[in-house]
Each structure stands twice: as structure tokens, then as C-alpha cells.
């Protein structure tokens, strides 16, 4: 086996990101052949013995799945209020997977999950501006003026950020397909609320080009090799327009 960077090997074996692996090295949790390593160190996984907090590292089987979240479940591992979570539905072998981004309790649709920390980071970080597609139904017929305002952007507080929704398709008077490349907390619902509408249903139907395909609520499927390949090198870009006083978001929020 060819030599690899130590932080990549730690990430591959544990599911953490390379940045987290570097933190483990810096905080003296890692040993290579019983000696403290340095950042950027190269290792031979077949010859070098790597431990984290005294435990030897072994290659971890990676899972990359699409999951159809039904409404009524929250996107977290546990809930102090005892509400149902997506982990009540996921098969046992997927219980250690983490989601890329979230969907709020009332929303449904596509979640991507993995135990590959770097993969999750690439999908979750706002700078990659992955497109997310939603089918949204509201309580009152939509007008051209409302759709224009959604596309122009709604300034949301307290973020002081311009939230834009790209109109992809108008299905009927109360139902529209929208695209987002940003990830503000409950962005679509808050935009419609600002315009005097109430969202009756919100379903994510695609994320970074990945679709639900033929999944039913509560079901999972493994991502195809072609889908994984398309996600390996996402473009770095600015994720939408920002108000002059706005700060860059650090994490994606549920829709």
C-alpha cells in the first residue's frame, strides 16, 4: 500500500474529518509506532502502527446512503423531549451515520448520510453551494409578484442575510418547486411567512444532484458509484448574495 497522510488515514478509519484528525494529532491523542507524530506526516498503513487514545486504527467500511425522511421525525441522534428521530427508522447498520444538513420535524424528503466525515463536510459546508430542490405547498394561491420577491431575496433577521429561492417550476396555484444553495434556519418557511404565507408541506426532492429515486418514506438506498463520483470534487463558490453587514454562515440549518 502506498504511503498516505496520517490525517487522511485517521479520517478513513474513524469517520472524522481531516481537520478533526489534525486536532487529535495536535492535542497529543495520536501515536505512530508509539511515538507522537507531526502534522502532515506520511505513514505506511501496512507497516506503521497508528493508535488514537491507545486504540489501534483499522479501516472502516464506508456507507453513503440516501434516506427518505417522513414528516414527524427530527434530524438528530436523540431528543431530550422524547420526540421521534430519524434513527428510530434507520436500520441497525446505519445507526452510526451522520446526516449532511438537516430537515426540520415537519419537513420530509431526501437526507444524505454517511460515516465518512470528509464526505459530510463537503456536502454540508456553505462554500460548496450544493443545490437543494424542494417541493413546497402553501395555504394561499401564489402570485407572480410573490415569486419575483422570492427570487429577488428576503432579508431575514437576526442573520441580516438575503435569502433567495430560485423558482424551478410552478406545479399549481399553491405548489411550487424551489431551489436553494444556502442553508439558513427554516429558510423557505421564513421567507413565505415574511410574505404572509404559511407552508403546508415541504419536501426535499433532490440534494447536489442526488434524488429520492423510487424511495418511499422511511426507506434507504446506497448511493451509486456514479453519484459518489459526482460529489467528490464539488465547486467552491459563494453561496448566494449577502447583505453588507452579514457574516458568513458556518453550518447548514434545517428546512
Which residues are identified as catalytic?
104
Of the chain, the end-to-end C-alpha distance in Å amounts to: 43
Nearest Cα to Cα of residue 200 among 172, 180, 181: 172
Sequence length of the chain is 255
CA 39 to chain centre: 28
Is residue 138 a contact partner of residue 200, using CB atoms and an 8 Å limit?
Answer: yes
Q: How many other β-carbons are positioned within 10 Å of the β-carbon of residue 143?
A: 11
Give, in degrees to the nearest 5, the angle at Cα 113 between 153 and 246.
25
SS3 for 117? helix
Backbone angles phi, psi at 210, to 5 degrees: -90, 135
Q: How far apart are CA 35 and CA 240, in angstroms?
A: 46
Is residue 70 a contact partner of residue 217, using CB atoms and an 8 Å limit?
Answer: yes
Amino acid at each position: 500500500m502506498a504511503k498516505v497522510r496520517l490525517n487522511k488515514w485517521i479520517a478513513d478509519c474513524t469517520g472524522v474529518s481531516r481537520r478533526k484528525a489534525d486536532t487529535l494529532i495536535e492535542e497529543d491523542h495520536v501515536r505512530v509506532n508509539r511515538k507522537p507524530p507531526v502534522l502532515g506526516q506520511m505513514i505506511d498503513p501496512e507497516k506503521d502502527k497508528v493508535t488514537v487514545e491507545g486504540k489501534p486504527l483499522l479501516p472502516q467500511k464506508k456507507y453513503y446512503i440516501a434516506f427518505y425522511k417522513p414528516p414527524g421525525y427530527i434530524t438528530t441522534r436523540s431528543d431530550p423531549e422524547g420526540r421521534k428521530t430519524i434513527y428510530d427508522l434507520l436500520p441497525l447498520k446505519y445507526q452510526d451515520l451522520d446526516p449532511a444538513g438537516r430537515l426540520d420535524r415537519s419537513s420530509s424528503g431526501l437526507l444524505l448520510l454517511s460515516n465518512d466525515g470528509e464526505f459530510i463536510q463537503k456536502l454540508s459546508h456553505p462554500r460548496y453551494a450544493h443545490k437543494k430542490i424542494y417541493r413546497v405547498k402553501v395555504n394561499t394561491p401564489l402570485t407572480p409578484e410573490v415569486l419575483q420577491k422570492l427570487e429577488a431575496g428576503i432579508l431575514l433577521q437576526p442573520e441580516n442575510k438575503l435569502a433567495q429561492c430560485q423558482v424551478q417550476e410552478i406545479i399549481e396555484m399553491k405548489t411550487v418547486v424551489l431551489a436553494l444553495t444556502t442553508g439558513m434556519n427554516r429558510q423557505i418557511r421564513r421567507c413565505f411567512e415574511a410574505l404572509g404565507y404559511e407552508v403546508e408541506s415541504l419536501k426535499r426532492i433532490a440534494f447536489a444532484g442526488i434524488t429520492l429515486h423510487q424511495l418511499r418514506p422511511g426507506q434507504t438506498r446506497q448511493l451509486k458509484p456514479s453519484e459518489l463520483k459526482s460529489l467528490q470534487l464539488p465547486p467552491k463558490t459563494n453561496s448566494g448574495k449577502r447583505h453588507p453587514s452579514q457574516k458568513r454562515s458556518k453550518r447548514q440549518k434545517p428546512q
